[in-house]
């Protein structure tokens, strides 16, 4: 006989809200949402051109998991802004759904025996990886968005491997449970109550199930009693075997309907969405992003008063390194090496591009007007009439992405610039003075600031 005071006993769990219908609805929402998260995550990985150079992707031992199917394009120029904005905003929005789903199935995590068969053992293992992987991915993702780098290593490989473990368990779980989830939802719809009508009487049936036949009585400790049969779900959506583990054998009286509980979860998701999505916009909408960095107000005013991640001070950039007397851009290629001052660059043909900044944390700016020298013109200076790849090196003294590699198609795009000006004024130190890279559709970390050297050629 199991002790009803222990979580391994079905009688320990008393909420009348738990049941197949409630869990199935949350599961179907997560099925769609997590699939989008995984796809946009792969898109984000591809945006770094991970096979181009080790400086773009330092994930150790990635093997076949590091595959991607195409060179990252420069059209449309807002591609990364949208894909990464969707990835981060959707991930944050799904947090209440994930927590509600875990709450709805928590009795199963304590069910004994841990494994009744090999198949059941494999299912429990996939569930462990699913729960652990989901909590790990969402937690590390939120910490990265909040710029709290408390990981025991780099965020990128941790999130990368965690995503594959989580998604593999997610797919296995979905294959096993999707037919059941669809059947539970369809049964509720056919009954015309969508999980609410009959909740109270369903809970009553669960309490009285043991009295339905002869000497059978409901037992909160989960022990098998003569006369026990299948227990009706609290949703009233048909009989469910006691080992289903979701329906409380002795539920408390309901204080809210299942539909009300779903509205609560949806309201939490809507609140997180409304206080996060504004990071992808400028102006009044950014002020609604109360719970995220790069929300609320712009960091300054004037032509350079838009969002940044790293300041010049954080990156260790000194005035002595960037003044007109000291700074020179080194450009190397097939025909040799040239050194150019900022004045030399200003005498070259200058062009303008309207492009946003978009970062892996999900924030972005509106289009800013950049003016500078085309990357393909700098490649031509050192003997590359057909633009090749380029390795860009920064004056930055510490931190990730002091170096970044760009693919030939990015160099060749006429909107790709070594920018000297933004919005009609010189770059500010925090925006990369004396010169920075700006490339359409590229992640912010590949738009290197405080550029010191550019090496053109196959990488």
Q: Report pLDDT digits (tens) over 213-250.
A: 333 333 333 333 333 333 333 333 334 444 356 888 88
Given a cut of 50, whether residue 419 has pLDDT beyond it is yes
Percentage of the chain with pLDDT > 90? Answer: 56
Instruction: Quote the pLDDT of residue 223.
Output: 36
Q: Are strands 403-406 and 390-394 parallel, antiparallel or unpaired?
A: antiparallel
- Count other C-beta atoms under 10 Å from residue 293's C-beta: 16
Residue 374 pairs with which residues in a beta bridge? 417
What predicted TM-score, i.e. pTM, was given to this entire model? Answer: 0.85
Tokens of 96: 């209440």
Q: Report pLDDT digits (tens) over 45-97.
A: 999 998 888 888 878 888 888 777 688 999 999 999 999 999 999 999 999 99
Percentage of the chain with pLDDT > 70? Answer: 88
Instruction: Quote the pLDDT of residue 234.
Output: 37
Q: Report pLDDT digits (tens) over 112-158.
A: 888 888 877 887 888 889 999 999 999 999 999 988 878 777 888 89
Residue 459 binned pLDDT confidence (cut-offs 50, 70, 90): confident
Q: Report pLDDT digits (tens) over 148-205.
A: 878 777 888 899 999 999 999 999 888 888 888 888 888 878 776 544 544 544 455 5
Q: Report pLDDT digits (tens) over 360-417.
A: 999 999 999 999 999 999 999 999 999 999 999 999 987 778 999 999 999 999 999 9
Instruction: Quote the pLDDT of residue 245.
Output: 65
Q: What does the mean pLDDT of the chain come to?
A: 85
What average pLDDT does this structure show over 354-362?
A: 95
Instruction: Quote the pLDDT of residue 211.
Output: 45
Q: Report pLDDT digits (tens) over 268-287.
A: 999 999 999 998 888 788 88
Instruction: Quote the pLDDT of residue 27.
Output: 93
C-alpha to C-alpha distances, 69 to 51, 58, 79, 283, nearest whole angstrom: 11, 19, 16, 37
Instruction: Quote the pLDDT of residue 127.
Output: 84
């Amino acid at each position: 006989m199991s002790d009803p005071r222990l979580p391994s006993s079905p009688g320990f769990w008393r909420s009348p809200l738990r049941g197949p219908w409630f869990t199935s609805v949350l599961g179907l929402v997560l099925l769609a949402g997590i699939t989008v998260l995984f796809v946009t995550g792969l898109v984000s990985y591809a945006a770094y051109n991970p096979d181009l150079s080790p400086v773009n992707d330092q994930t150790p031992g990635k093997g076949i998991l590091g595959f991607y199917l195409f060179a990252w394009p420069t059209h449309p120029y807002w591609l990364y802004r949208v894909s990464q904005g969707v990835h981060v905003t959707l991930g944050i929005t799904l947090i209440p759904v994930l927590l509600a789903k875990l709450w709805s199935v928590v009795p199963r995590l304590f069910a004994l025996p841990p494994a009744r068969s090999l198949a059941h053992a494999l299912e429990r293992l996939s569930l462990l990886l699913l729960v652990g992987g989901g909590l790990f991915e969402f937690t590390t993702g939120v910490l990265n968005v909040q710029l709290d780098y408390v990981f025991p290593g780099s965020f990128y490989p941790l999130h990368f491997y965690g995503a594959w473990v989580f998604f593999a368990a997610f797919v296995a779980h979905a294959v096993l449970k999707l037919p059941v989830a669809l059947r539970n939802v369809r049964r509720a719809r056919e009954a015309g109550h969508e999980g609410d009508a009959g909740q109270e009487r369903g809970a009553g049936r669960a309490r009285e199930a043991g009295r339905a036949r002869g000497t059978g009585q409901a037992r909160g400790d989960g022990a098998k009693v003569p006369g026990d049969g299948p227990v009706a779900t609290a949703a009233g959506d048909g009989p469910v075997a006691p080992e289903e583990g979701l329906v409380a054998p002795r539920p408390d009286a309901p204080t809210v309907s299942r539909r009300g509980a779903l509205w609560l979860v949806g309201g939490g998701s809507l609140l997180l969405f409304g206080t996060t999505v504004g990071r992808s916009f400028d102006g009044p909408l950014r002020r609604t992003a109360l719970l995220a960095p790069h929300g609320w107000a712009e960091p300054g005013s004037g032509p350079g008063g838009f969002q940044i991640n790293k300041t010049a001070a954080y990156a260790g950039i000194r005035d002595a390194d960037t003044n007109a007397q000291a700074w020179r851009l080194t450009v190397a290629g097939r025909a040799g090496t040239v050194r150019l001052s900022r004045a030399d660059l200003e005498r070259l043909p200058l062009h303008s591009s309207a492009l946003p900044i978009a970062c892996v944390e999900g924030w972005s700016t509106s289009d800013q007007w950049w003016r500078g020298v085309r990357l393909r013109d700098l490649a031509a200076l050192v003997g590359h009439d057909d633009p090749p790849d380029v390795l860009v090196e920064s004056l930055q003294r510490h931190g990730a992405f002091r170096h970044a590699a760009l693919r030939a198609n990015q160099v060749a795009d006429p909107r790709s610039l070594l920018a000297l000006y933004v919005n009609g004024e010189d770059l500010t130190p925090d925006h990369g003075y004396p010169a920075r890279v700006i490339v359409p559709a590229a992640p912010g970390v590949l738009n290197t600031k405080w550029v010191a050297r550019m090496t053109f050629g196959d990488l």
